[in-house]
Structure formats: structure tokens, C-alpha cells
């Protein structure tokens, strides 16, 4: 029996095939249930016990080599015949397919654009704490105690401490800058602010602002207007127009609201601008002399202007988002839309 096994092993080693059909015929003849090798395992039961170990070893080697030979020739034929099912082999010289990159939040995109516009004309970015004391958040900005202007901003106070609250505007950062630096001062203060307001499509208790401040000798209202016109055209397009409407803020005098021409309809009116042709984007004005005094700056020598805008409102205008709440829900279906806006 050993001689028969050795003869079959030589046949296996010499086997060659040019088609998958030839390989399959060889496999059936040698390895199928009724094939030659399984029949030898049946005959193995009658082998002399003294020879079983040697015969069994040769028989197992034959089976392993026949199986290996069939798989080897199949692989060679597969490679020679090209890709299956119309699929191409991967190009190993191509760059690796890394995990997809995320996208910036639309608030971050808008804030970075605003910062970039003002940085190009000499403004520097200043930051401050989100938890503020009464002096920096109110009193230094011409909000005396019991002043009705304090009612304009519903504040989140900490417990029963009336002197500590979440800041209601980033004007508090401007106070800290005026206290620590001497004019000329040209700074913008982006950041998150908090007001105790009901959450809706057009309002939220958390939102983001960018406030600007310029103080120097001889600064005028005309300087402010030209700066804001430059900003509007850089942000919304070179054909953008602005208008200033009289308003009131405790820390500026005179004060104004600034509107920009609607870049959606171009003037005739649409739902975005409430059919007026204008969109309100910020408040502004000349810094009140009392604010300069509170911060140790002589109002007889220096003057300045300040402005502040809500980043969400600017982003709504740019990206035409109708509901503020979408900015805070972290819905990936919404955020993935801004990959191309980086």
C-alpha cells in the first residue's frame, strides 16, 4: 500500500492544469467522497497493525499535498484570468483612504471670517472670562444700580450673589482691555454670552457675539461708519449697502443700529429681510465719556467707537438657516453641509 501511495504522490506533484475545469476534475478524482484518497482511508482499516503508523503518515501526507496542489493551481489560474465580476485589483501605489475629515461648525466658520476681516485692518482679538462680576459686566459700562437699562438683559446670576453672573455681552472684555492698556486701542472680542431668554427659532439663552472697540485721539462717527461699511462689503459682497438708525445703548452716545442691504433678494424684499430689503446685523456708537472715565481714560483727550454683532444672526444671513436651535443640536446631517464652507 505504501508503494501505491508513493505512486499517487508522484502523480499529484506532476499534475498541471490550464483551466478551472481540469483542476475540478482532478479534485473530484482524488479528494471527493468516492475519490481515490478517501478509498485508501477505507482500505487503511485492513492494514497490519505493525505498519499502520507508517502507512497512516504517508496517507495523510498524500491528502495534504493533494489539497495544497489543488488550491495552489486555482490561485494561479485566478491571477492569470484577471479580476472577477468586473472588479479591478487595487492600485497599491494610490494614497491610503483615511477616515473622512469632519467639518467646522457654522458658528466657528462665521466667527473666523469676522475675525479675519477686522484683523486685516489692525484689530487684535481679546478674550475674557465667561463668569463676570457686576463691575465689568454692568457698572463700568454705564449701567448704574437700578438703572432701567439693566432690565434690557435678563441675567443668569450665581445663587444669591448679585455681584457674580454669566456675562450678558462681550463688552466686559473691552472694559478689561481699557483698564489694562493705554490708547490707542483697536480690539475685537469674540465669545459666548448668556441671557435668560425663552428658546425659540429666533432666540436662545446661549449665543455668540463679536464686539469691537477703537479708541484714539480724534476718532469720529465717520470713522466708525467707514469701518463698518468695509466690514459689510467684505462679509456680504462688494455691492452691499449699510444704513444707520438712531438707537440707545447705555455705553455709547450717540448710538445706532446698523442694517445691511439684503444679499438674498437684492432689495425688493423677501422672507429673510421681512420684505423690507434690509437686515439688522449690529448695534454701534461712540463710546460714552462716562465709560472712558470708569476705565481710567481721559475723555477730553481720547474718543472712540464700539460695535457688537450676534454671530448667529450673521450666520443665518450667510447660510440661510431659519432656526437658531439647529446650531446647538449637533445633528451631523446639518453639520456635514458646511464642509465646503471652511
Domain coordinates of the chain in residue numbers?
A: 2-81, 106-341
Is the Cα torsion angle 177, 284, 169, 328 positive or negative in sign? negative
155: helix, strand or coil: coil
User: How many CB atoms within 10 Å of residue 323?
Assistant: 12
Angstrom distance (rounded) from CA 275 to CA 283: 21
Pairing of strands 157-158, 242-249: unpaired
165: nearest Cα among 210, 196, 134, 144: 134
Q: Burial code of 94-130, b = ≥16 C-beta within 10 A, e = fewer?
A: eeeeeeeeebebbbebbbebbbebbeeeebeebebee
pTM: 0.67
The pLDDT, as a whole number, for residue 341 is 60
Cβ-proximal residues to 47 (8 Å cutoff; 6+ apart), any chain: 1, 55
Residue 117's H or E segment, with its range, is helix 106-119
What is residue 290's predicted lDDT score, i.e. its pLDDT?
94
Q: Which residues contact 73 (CB under 8 A, 6 or more apart)?
A: 15, 16, 17, 23
The HSE-up count of residue 39 (CA atoms within 13 Å, CB side) is: 11
Supply 335's cell numbers.
Answer: 453639520
For the chain, 342 residues long, give each residue's pLDDT as a single digit of tens: 778 888 888 888 888 888 888 888 888 888 888 888 888 878 777 777 787 788 778 878 888 888 888 888 888 887 776 655 555 666 778 777 677 777 889 999 999 999 999 999 999 999 999 999 989 988 899 887 776 656 655 777 777 777 788 888 999 999 999 999 999 999 999 999 998 888 887 778 888 999 999 999 999 999 999 999 999 999 988 889 999 999 999 999 999 999 998 876 766 777 667 778 888 899 999 999 999 999 999 999 999 999 999 999 888 878 878 788 888 888 888 888 887 665
Query: For the sheet containing 242-249, what is the strand order?
Result: 124-125, 185-194, 206-216, 303-310, 278-287, 252-261, 242-249
**CA–CA separation, 51 vs 303, rounded Å?**
112
**pLDDT for res 153:** 58
Contact between 242 and 234 (Cβ < 8 Å):
no
In the chain the beta strands, taken as DSSP E runs, fall at 124-125, 131-133, 157-158, 161-166, 185-194, 206-216, 242-249, 252-261, 278-287, 303-310
Task: Note the CATH architecture for domain 106-341.
Answer: 2-Layer Sandwich (3.30)
Amino acid at each position: 500500500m505504501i508503494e501505491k501511495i508513493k505512486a499517487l504522490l508522484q502523480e499529484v506533484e506532476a499534475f498541471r492544469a490550464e483551466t478551472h475545469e481540469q483542476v475540478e476534475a482532478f479534485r473530484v478524482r482524488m479528494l471527493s467522497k468516492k475519490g481515490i484518497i478517501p478509498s485508501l482511508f477505507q482500505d487503511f482499516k485492513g492494514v497490519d497493525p505493525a505498519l499502520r503508523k507508517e502507512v497512516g503518515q504517508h496517507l495523510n501526507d498524500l491528502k495534504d499535498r493533494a489539497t495544497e496542489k489543488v488550491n495552489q493551481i486555482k490561485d494561479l489560474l485566478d491571477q492569470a484570468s484577471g479580476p472577477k465580476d468586473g472588479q479591478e485589483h487595487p492600485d497599491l501605489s494610490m494614497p491610503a483612504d483615511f477616515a473622512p475629515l469632519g467639518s467646522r461648525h457654522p458658528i466657528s466658520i462665521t466667527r473666523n471670517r469676522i475675525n479675519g476681516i477686522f484683523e486685516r485692518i489692525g484689530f487684535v482679538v481679546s478674550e475674557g472670562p465667561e463668569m463676570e462680576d457686576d463691575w465689568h459686566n454692568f457698572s463700568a459700562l454705564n449701567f448704574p444700580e437700578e438703572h432701567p437699562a439693566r432690565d434690557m438683559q435678563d441675567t443668569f446670576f450665581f445663587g444669591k450673589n448679585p455681584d457674580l453672573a454669566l456675562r450678558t455681552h462681550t463688552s466686559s472684555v473691552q472694559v478689561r482691555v481699557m483698564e489694562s492698556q493705554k490708547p490707542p486701542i483697536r480690539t475685537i472680542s469674540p465669545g459666548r454670552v448668556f441671557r435668560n431668554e425663552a428658546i425659540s427659532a429666533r432666540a436662545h439663552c446661549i449665543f455668540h457675539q463679536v464686539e469691537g472697540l477703537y479708541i484714539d485721539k480724534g476718532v469720529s462717527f465717520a470713522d466708525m461708519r467707514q469701518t463698518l461699511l468695509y466690514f459689510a462689503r467684505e462679509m456680504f459682497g462688494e455691492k452691499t449697502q449699510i444704513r444707520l438708525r438712531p438707537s440707545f445703548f447705555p455705553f455709547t452716545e450717540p448710538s445706532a443700529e446698523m442694517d445691511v442691504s439684503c444679499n438674498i433678494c437684492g432689495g425688493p424684499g423677501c422672507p429673510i429681510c421681512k420684505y423690507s430689503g434690509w437686515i439688522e446685523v449690529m448695534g454701534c456708537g461712540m463710546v460714552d465719556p462716562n465709560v472712558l472715565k470708569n476705565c481710567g481714560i481721559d475723555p477730553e483727550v481720547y474718543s472712540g467707537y464700539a460695535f457688537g454683532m450676534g454671530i448667529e444672526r450673521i450666520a443665518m444671513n450667510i447660510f440661510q438657516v431659519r432656526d437658531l436651535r439647529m446650531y446647538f443640536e449637533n445633528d451631523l446631517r446639518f453639520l456635514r453641509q458646511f464642509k465646503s464652507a471652511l
